[in-house]
Amino acid sequence: MTSNRALVSGLFFLLAIRLLAMIWVPLTDPTEARYAEIARIMVDTGNWITPQFDYGIPFWAKPPLHTWLAAIGIEAFGSSPFAARIGILFSTILTLAIVWRWTRSVSDSRSSIVATLVTASTGVFFFSAAFVQTDMVLTLGVVASMAGFYNGLKGSRSWGWLFFLGLAIGLLAKGPIAVVLSMTPIALWMIWRRDWQTLTRLPWIGGTILCLALVLPWYASAEIATPGYLRYFLIGEHIERFLVPGWKGDLYGSGREHAKGTIWLFWIIATLPWSPLLPVLLWRYRKTPIFDDEGLHLYLLLFALTPLVFFTAAANILIAYVLPGIPAAAILAVILWTRMRSPGGFWLKLGLAEITVFTVGLICISIFDGTRTLLPTEDRLVAVYQGRGRLAILRGRSFSSEFYSKGEVTKIKSMDDLSKWLAAGDGVLVRRADRDALDTRFGSALSFLSEDKNYALYISNGAPNVQ
């Protein structure tokens, strides 16, 4: 049986790998580089109220907590991938700390370490642990509120305050969806439990005041700074997006459409290598009452299933949407796991082996500069061009090029505009599919410098206004 020391070593091993990846792997387009660039613009402009999709263009799609975390890192450490990611990693560590403490309060110290390791080594959780986007910060809020509510009902005032703090974190991370993902399993569980008197153990008045005091000032300030924000975010993003067929109100590009029900397939992939574990355990105990008297098992199961059920009918989804329920699935699996005679060995080794193989592969690819060949990022092209003239991008937008150039990329809409803009020493990023058209139009006026997965880099030879 694996010792507690070995389990803790496994956690630190995962942390070390994630720290190396934060430095080693470049920001990728479109998601991570976009959020990192929004954070960089926040620091550059000094506007900490309204995140900006581009200079002067407000970003209304998400609240700012994840942007604040990335911006604080950039403010402290400069404009780098590590700096943009460090705040998200901090959110991950806080989430794992709550998983550890909550599991320990309802089980034992060994189960708490195993549950934390299982959560941390789950594929999508490990990947998202320092990925610049909203979902890990949302997960922190949901896990805090769910853990706080359950332990708060048992009489712990500090856990009860955590419930309201978690709601505030979720509302500032991604909006009302945090309340839905928390309150849906809580409501269903309370209806099943029917012990309404225990609700009085939570600090409802003080907790509500705390939550509102943390959340309302920003929402009000955002609406005052950019009128129309609340209507777009609360109605457009949360209602019309899902209920209005062919909704055309998205200001920031089209979403990623998938067949309805795909979220369940995403869960199987995202929770590797652990995805078979919970269904196998539930099947094994199908003929025995697995739901304990205090309702913890049912509480965790509802918590784990809510994101899947909620997004079953949605087509515009991402694999990270399963993230908030993963800690609950891990805790439930480990608690059921302890009923077996030999909990620990095979699955824990498999989880660490998965991350080890991933790391070795990453190192091998990086040795041959493969991360920049395989990943959608223009960091190398920006580095190649650094110190020359102005840089433009033709008919598109690359957030990674904007981040790595610190916003010094001019967006050009057409070949005609490019011919008027170019001067000696200027460079242009062109999608590889447009290279033939560019060569036909400009010929020897441009010289090829380099290329990556998506773009080719050219430099002007000093023949502007080419017709």
**pLDDT score of 10:** 77
The helix or strand, by DSSP H or E, that contains position 332, with its residue range, turns out to be helix 326-337
CA dihedral 275, 278, 284, 289 (to 10 degrees): -160
Alpha carbon distance 113, 4 (integer Å): 7
**pLDDT score of 36:** 97
Q: List CB contacts of 452: < 8 A, sequence separation 6 or more.
A: 372, 373, 377, 378, 380, 381
Q: What is the pLDDT of residues 12-46, one digit of tens each?
A: 888 888 888 888 889 988 899 999 999 999 999 99
Q: What is the DSSP letter of 200?
A: G
- Tokens in use for 304? 């784990």
Q: Are strands 446-451 and 455-460 parallel, antiparallel or unpaired?
A: antiparallel
**pLDDT score of 208:** 97
**For helices 262-270 and 296-310, what crossing angle results, to 10°?**
120
Alpha carbon distance 191, 32 (integer Å): 40
The helix or strand, by DSSP H or E, that contains position 334, with its residue range, turns out to be helix 326-337
Question: Is 143 exposed, middle or buried (CB count within 10 Å of its CB: 0-12, 13-18, 19+)?
Answer: buried
Residue 262 dihedral angles phi and psi, to the nearest 5° = -60, -25
Mean pLDDT (the chain) is 86
**pLDDT score of 8:** 82
CA 178 to chain centroid: 14
- Looking at residue 218, its amino acid is W
Q: List CB contacts of 307: < 8 A, sequence separation 6 or more.
A: 181, 263, 321, 322, 323, 324, 325
Band of the pLDDT at 466, cuts 50, 70, 90?
Answer: very low
Cβ pair 449, 459 in contact under 8 A: yes
Point out the least confidently predicted range of 86-100, 147-161, 284-298.
Answer: 284-298
Point out the least confidently predicted range of 14-18, 207-211, 404-408, 460-464.
Answer: 460-464
pTM of the model: 0.89
- Tokens in use for 36? 């990192």
The three-class DSSP label of residue 405 is coil
